[in-house]
Amino acid sequence: MTTYSAKASEIEKKWIVIDGTGLVVGRLAALVALRLRGKHKATYTPHMDCGDNVIIINAAKVVLTGQKAKKKVYYHHTGYIGGIKERWAEDILRGAHPERIIEKAVERMLPRGPLGRRQLGNLRCYAGAEHPHAAQQPEALDVGKLNPKNTKHHVKAA
């Protein structure tokens, strides 16, 4: 018996849309990373991009549990001496691009390298409810119904 290995011509990519309203960031990112890699399929092949295309809408309405909104820090370096900068998750969620919280969480759950970068390109995050991918006819996936822990029941009004 031989191990199945998918060929590029055999890979079927679906489009999935997920509404991020009230969803916990880490749990959403884990599920999205699984879908982007294609590990939910029986035809999963580790060295091929066999995952689906994922659209996340309402990314600004995701929830961080506990004290993460105030205490979680994102660092980046400008390239200059002493140029380390920090931003808190709370500031990013209130800023101009709140979808970057989910993008960064998913990026860190994917493998590093050319394949991981290609798989991350199949993720589209939008802060609002509108997305320009209606022509692809994406299927809606209700992440909140998969597990009750995926949603934060006492969502604070922003």
Which CATH number does the domain housing residue 47 bear?
A: 3.90.1180.10
Output the pLDDT for position 77: 97
What are 29-56's pLDDT values in tens digits? Answer: 999 999 999 999 999 999 999 999 999 9
CA atoms within 13 Å, Cβ hemisphere of 30: 9
Number of independent structural domains in the chain: 1
| Overall average pLDDT of the 45-71 stretch | 96
Q: Is there a domain that residue 1 lies in? A: no
Q: Is there a domain that residue 111 lies in? A: yes
Q: Is there a domain that residue 121 lies in? A: yes
Q: Is there a domain that residue 9 lies in? A: no
| Overall average pLDDT of the 125-141 stretch | 96
If one counts every other C-beta atom within 10 angstroms of the C-beta of residue 80, the result is 7
